Amino acid sequence: MSVAAVAGPASPFELTEDQRDLQRTAREFAAERLAPDAVRWDQDKHFPVEVIREAGQLGIGGVYVDERFGGSGLSRFESVLIFEALATGDPSIAAYLSIHNMCAGMIDRFGSDEQRARWLPSLCATERLASYCLTEPEAGSDAAALRTKAVRDGDEYVLTGVKQFISGGGSSDVYVVMARTGEEGAAGISTFVVDGAAEGLSFGANERKMGWNAQPTRQVTFDGVRVGADQRLGAEGIGFKIAMAGLDGGRLSIAACSLGGAQAALDKSLGYVRERSAFGSKIGEFQALRFKLADMATELEAARLLLWRAAWALDVRDPAATRLCAMAKRLATDAGFAVANEALQIHGGYGYLAEYGLEKIVRDLRVHQILEGTNEIMRMIISRGLLEAP
């Protein structure tokens, strides 16, 4: 089945049949179209746009975008089920799809109907791909200190500045850009949708990275890029709010991708310990390994339940949603990396070989503890929410 709107869970712990179908569809796509080539894409630094287009045909290009504009109209709860399933095949491609969806979701939530009709159908179909442009060379965790400027000139804005670590940079067709239109700090930031072919837009070299090699990461430079005032999302000065709203959902998706990658690593480990023998016994009979597997599964299940709780909170606009999203991102990305690393250790020397795919999962999941807000920033968000609560 293709992705389509479905009802919410019957209980916090039980998925509906439709939701299980969503998982199954995404898991089958991951197994058939992502997993077989994941190691090769990583080694060749190949961005499989043709496969991403196939994901769009299943409705995965606009998972939580309004159906009127080509989206699948799903909830954030359903979206995390999909991204976790996709990441079992390749966390790098699943994560790029999550960023693309974050951009589409921002346009859907904050754009006018004219803007939504202009950009969303092609983004949802993945005929065009999107990148999120917030981070700068000197404005990472302190995102409100960004320096890229958008100066009003009649019916246009002129964008000048540099964005750093942009997933999809140079390959995407649409860039959702946060730029300064006013005073210093968060209140002076606005959001723009910039065409990838705009004059004055240029890209740095594809970064050499520890992981996420199957998606390009480049610096994006705006040198007098002109955009129409009708390419601004919302009013001037609310761009930081738009960026942070996007990141709430983005953190859930990255958390889900961590769980999916780690689940794949755990599944590989279960198969390995059933087959591998040492000292006259299957190593799955060794108590130390059994305890390790039990802890790995428990950590993933605990993180998954918190992720579901946070996704539900975002769906119902719970006032605690931002704090819960930060909690879920922190726990799931830490647990996901730890489980993948343990899986590599269980495989011994084989885990260190590229052909087994485990070292790739470890490398891919490591960056999840950094992007969409570092896990140290997540702790700041969580503690601020706790201390400011009535």
Q: Do the Cβ atoms of 200 and 231 come closer than 8 Å?
A: no
Of the residues 78, 84, 299, 372, only one is catalytic, namely 372
Structure tokens at 195: 């065409």
Task: Give the residue from 342, 57, 43 showing the smallest Cα distance to 211.
Answer: 43
Distance CA 6, CA 16 (A): 9
What is the number of other CB atoms lying within 10 angstroms of the CB of residue 4? 14
**Residue 44 burial by CB count (10 A; 0-12/13-18/19+): exposed, middle or buried?**
exposed
- Please give the torsion angle defined by the CA atoms of residues 52, 179, 149 and 197, in that order, rounded to the nearest 10 degrees: 20
285 to 148, 261, 269: CA distances (angstroms): 58, 25, 13
372 as an active site residue: the answer is yes
Residue 356 phi, psi (nearest 5)? -80, -15
How many Å apart are CA 167 and CA 217, to the nearest integer? Answer: 5
Task: Report the candidate in 209, 189, 61 with the shortest Cα–Cα distance to residue 136.
Answer: 189
Provide the residue type at 84 as one letter.
Answer: E
The residues annotated with a catalytic role in the active site are 372
